[in-house]
């Protein structure tokens, strides 16, 4: 039933890899509605600079919902400059309790270069245990691939790119046209 109500809920893969003093967030470019590819070059990874502090965010889910959440996150970051975790918790609280925001269907991976967090509409603000986080329909494929490569001599960007390539080969809602943002702290 939910699938018929929200046919576009499938799709996308976002990965964050923290390694060697940097964090890379990469996302594919495919936008799908149901089983139809609408666009192949969307930018689902964005750099935010509220109050002069750089933050990189990647999103999976409904595009309009994700943009609403990114705007709210920017406002929270402006209110708490340099405090990504606090701004993320405030966003998650609003997302869980506000009647309008509760209906939003998206997930975020955010980083300021030192912290990397996954934010969900269930009120979760999670820091990955193994310095790798992934969301979206191909997220589990990308996560498994990245964790398998993590202990090699590859840098964060190489791990993220190769994990995304593996996810794109497996998940029909993920393509290989990537947006990659890197941030150091």
Q: What is the pTM for the complete model shown?
A: 0.91
- Residue 181 φ/ψ, nearest 5 degrees: -125, 135
**In this predicted structure, what is the pLDDT of residue 105?**
85
Task: Write out pLDDT tens, residues 35-93.
Answer: 899 999 999 999 998 777 899 999 998 888 888 889 999 999 999 999 999 999 999 99
**Helix (H), strand (E) at residue 104:** none
What distance lies between CA 19 and its chain's CA centroid?
A: 17
- Residue 55 φ/ψ, nearest 5 degrees: -135, 140
38 occurs within a structural domain: yes
Total domains, the chain: 1
**In this predicted structure, what is the pLDDT of residue 45?**
97
* Exposure string over 75-110, b if 16+ CB within 10 A, otherwise e: ebbeebeebbeebbbbbbebbeeeeebeebebbbbb
CATH code of the domain covering residue 51: 3.60.20.10
Tokens of 126: 């999670």
Confidence of residue 6 (pLDDT cuts 50, 70, 90): very low
Has residue 1 got a pLDDT over 60? no
Confidence of residue 3 (pLDDT cuts 50, 70, 90): very low
142 occurs within a structural domain: yes
Q: Is 166 within 8 Å of 141 (Cβ atoms)?
A: yes
Task: Write out pLDDT tens, residues 108-164.
Answer: 999 999 999 999 888 899 999 999 999 999 999 999 999 999 999 999 999 999 999
166 occurs within a structural domain: yes
**In this predicted structure, what is the pLDDT of residue 177?**
97
**Helix (H), strand (E) at residue 158:** helix 156-170
Q: Is 174 within 8 Å of 137 (Cβ atoms)?
A: yes
Tokens of 149: 């490569």
SS (H, E, C) 5-25: HCHHHCCCEEEEEEECCEEEE
**In this predicted structure, what is the pLDDT of residue 10?**
54
**In this predicted structure, what is the pLDDT of residue 52?**
77
Please give the residue range of the domain that contains residue 25: 2-177
33 occurs within a structural domain: yes
72 closest CA partner among 52, 53, 95, 105: 95
147 occurs within a structural domain: yes
Q: Which residues are annotated as catalytic?
A: 12
Q: Is 47 within 8 Å of 181 (Cβ atoms)?
A: yes
Which region, left, alpha or beta, applies to residue 151 given φ > 0 means left and ψ of -120 to 50 means alpha? alpha
- CA atoms 114, 177, 163, 15: torsion sign: positive
13 occurs within a structural domain: yes
């Amino acid at each position: 039933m939910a699938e018929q109500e929200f046919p576009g809920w499938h799709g996308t893969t976002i990965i964050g890899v923290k390694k060697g003093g940097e964090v890379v967030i990469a996302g594919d470019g495919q936008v799908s509605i149901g089983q139809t590819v609408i666009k192949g070059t969307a930018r689902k990874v964005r750099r935010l600079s509220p109050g002069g502090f750089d933050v990189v965010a990647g999103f999976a889910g409904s595009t309009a919902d994700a943009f609403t959440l990114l705007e709210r996150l920017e406002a929270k970051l402006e209110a708490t400059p340099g405090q990504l975790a606090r701004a993320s918790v405030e966003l998650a609280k609003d997302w869980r309790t506000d009647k309008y925001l509760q209906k939003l269907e998206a997930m975020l991976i955010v980083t300021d270069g030192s912290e990397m967090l996954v934010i969900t509409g269930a009120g979760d603000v999670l820091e990955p245990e193994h310095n790798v986080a992934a969301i979206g329909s191909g997220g589990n494929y990308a996560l498994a691939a990245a964790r398998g490569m993590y202990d090699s001599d590859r840098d964060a960007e190489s791990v993220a790119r190769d994990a995304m390539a593996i996810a794109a080969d497996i998940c029909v809602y993920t393509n290989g046209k990537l947006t990659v943002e890197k941030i150091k702290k």
